[in-house]
Structure 1
Amino acid sequence: MEPKQVVQKWVECFNRGDAEAIAEFYSEDAINHQVANEPVVGKRAIKQMFADEFSAAEMVCIVENIFQDGQWAILEWKDPIGLRGCGFFQFENGLIVLQRGYWDKLSFLKAHNLPIPE
């Protein structure tokens, strides 16, 4: 599967809130760096991160665009409440080895009535 197709499948799993399925897209030593947070390293930790996030808030990813350039895929997204962001996914051997996500954490926390760190 090409990176663009993997990201399309990743979005389907994300929208189901399926941390187990999402984790299967990552290499064992992958890094997921949502830049508003510290990087999460390793497939197991990434799975736990998604499980924690899915239990804290209902999240929906509406694809605006998915671009592919070689072993990179870029996802532009929005959600039903108006938040927007983008993600960059680097692939090796068909698996995500690096993901960086850019979004407004303060707007997300406020929209989902989650605690705002001091």
Structure 2
Amino acid sequence: MRPRELIEKWVEAFNNADFDELGEMYSEDAVNYQVPEETVEGKEAIRKMFEEEFSRAEMVCIVENIFEDGEWAILEWKDPLGLRGCGFFHVVDDKIVFQRGYWDKLSFLRQHGLPIPDE
């Protein structure tokens, strides 16, 4: 499966809040680094991260662009509330081995009425 195809399936699972299916898209030792968060390592920890996040807020990923270059896919996205972000996915043997995401955590928390942590 090409990286672009995997990311299209990832978006579908994300929009269905299907954390189990999302977890299956990662390799056993995958790394997920969302820049405003701590790095999450391992397939099960990533699945659990999605489960916790979906329990906190309704999240929707609207694809603006998906670019592919070799083993990499880049996802530019927005959500219905106006938040925008970008994700980089390294795909090897049909599994995500590394993901890095850029988005504004403060805007996300405010849009979803979630508590803003103290500094």
What TM bracket, shorter-length normalisation? over 0.9
Residue matched to 1:110: 110
How many corresponding residue pairs?
118
What is the TM-score when the length of structure 2 is the normalising length? 0.98
Long gaps (5+) in structure 2: none
Q: Which residue of 2 aligns with 1:101?
A: 101
Alignment RMSD? 0.4
- Tell me the equivalent position of 2:37: 37
1:50 corresponds to:
50
Matches within 5 A, 1:8-47: 8-47=8-47
Cα displacement (A) at 1:92: 1.2
Q: Which runs of 5+ in 1 are unaligned?
A: none
TM-score, L = length of structure 1: 0.99
SS of residue paired to 2:85:
strand
Shift of 1:114: 0.6
Q: Per-residue CA shift, 1:15-65, capped at 9, x if unaligned?
A: 000000000110000000001001000000000000000000000000000
